[in-house]
A and B are shown apart, each in its own frame.
Chain A
Amino acid sequence: AQSVAQPEDQVNVAEGNPLTVKCTYSVSGNPYLFWYVQYPNRGLQFLLKYITGDNLVKGSYGFEAEFNKSQTSFHLKKPSALVSDSALYFCAVRERSSNTGKLIFGQGTTLQVKP
């Protein structure tokens, strides 16, 4: 069964510093991988996805993520954090072979960027 783990409930970063939000996954075969962000009292918004090819994926708002097949990870990164990046971040996975398209989310990581 497919699963996603985000090992940190919360990540605290000072504004201007680099940030990393971790994600590891377990699926059969190669996955499609996604990051979504949820601001307070809002729905989730898509940030970026990995399909194939280059392991470094660039997305919205200066975020990027690195796919590492051997470590089954897809960590979210940003070189310089902004206070406005403070939000709840979800990693998600979908099996390529799935005929239902079921998208499984990790438990979420709260990013707190302090001025």
Chain B
Amino acid sequence: DTAVSQTPKYLVTQMGNDKSIKCEQNLGHDTMYWYKQDSKKFLKIMFSYNNKELIINETVPNRFSPKSPDKAHLNLHINSLELGDSAVYFCASSQDRVGANVLTFGAGSRLTVL
């Protein structure tokens, strides 16, 4: 039973399109995150939500819009896709947002913009 699941795993699309990535966790965690891993494997936090409330919004272009319908789900919608959006997007969750809480990551969603 996958703890943090993301769909789709692969996404290939044209510039200018709009796409969404969905994430669900069954761990009962309160906090969820989106991270972007670029082609050099560098990991950068994009957003975090705690109990459906936006906590971190890390200077991400407003073409990226996260939505958390409940604390078990955090979706990422991207408008007007650009070449530079090509990356692997990781969803993660943790029990809480502070302290020594450990993040549990999904397997990633590889987005390729042509």
State yes or no: do A and B come from one complex.
Answer: yes
Residue of A36, A44, A105 most packed against chain B (CB within 10 A): A44
Q: Judge whether B105 is part of the interface by a CB distance below 8 angstroms.
A: yes
Once the chains bind, are A102 and B56 in contact (CB under 8 Å)? yes
Compute how far the CA of A45 lies from the CA of B100 in the bound complex, rounded to whole angstroms.
Answer: 15
Contact A100 to B48, CB < 8 A, known contacts A34-B102, A43-B106, A51-B100 = yes
B42 partner residues in chain A, CB cutoff 8 A: 105, 107-108
> Given A38, A46, A100, A105, which contacts B56 in the complex, CB threshold below 8 Å?
A100
Compute how far the CA of A36 lies from the CA of B56 in the bound complex, rounded to whole angstroms.
Answer: 21
The interface bits of chain A over 82-107 (1 if a CB of B lies within 8 angstroms of the residue's CB, else 0) are 00000010100010001111111101
From residue A1, how far is it (CB to closest CB) to chain B in Å?
A: 12
Once the chains bind, are A101 and B96 in contact (CB under 8 Å)? yes
From residue A72, how far is it (CB to closest CB) to chain B in Å?
A: 18
Q: Which residues of B contact A (CB under 8 A)?
A: 4, 31, 40-45, 48, 55-56, 90, 92, 94, 96-108
From residue B48, how far is it (CB to closest CB) to chain A in Å?
A: 7
> Given A36, A44, A88, A99, which contacts B98 in the complex, CB threshold below 8 Å?
A99
B100 partner residues in chain A, CB cutoff 8 A: 32, 49, 51, 94
Contact A101 to B55, CB < 8 A, known contacts A43-B4, A108-B42 = yes
Once the chains bind, are B43 and A105 in contact (CB under 8 Å)? yes
- Count class of interface residues, chain A: 20 to 34
Once the chains bind, are A103 and B103 in contact (CB under 8 Å)? yes
Once the chains bind, are B55 and A100 in contact (CB under 8 Å)? yes
Once the chains bind, are A46 and B41 in contact (CB under 8 Å)? no
A42 partner residues in chain B, CB cutoff 8 A: 107-108
Once the chains bind, are B55 and A108 in contact (CB under 8 Å)? no
Which residue of A is nearest B35, CB measured?
A: A105
Which residue of B is nearest A49, CB measured?
A: B100
> Given B99, B101, B108, which contacts A43 in the complex, CB threshold below 8 Å?
B108
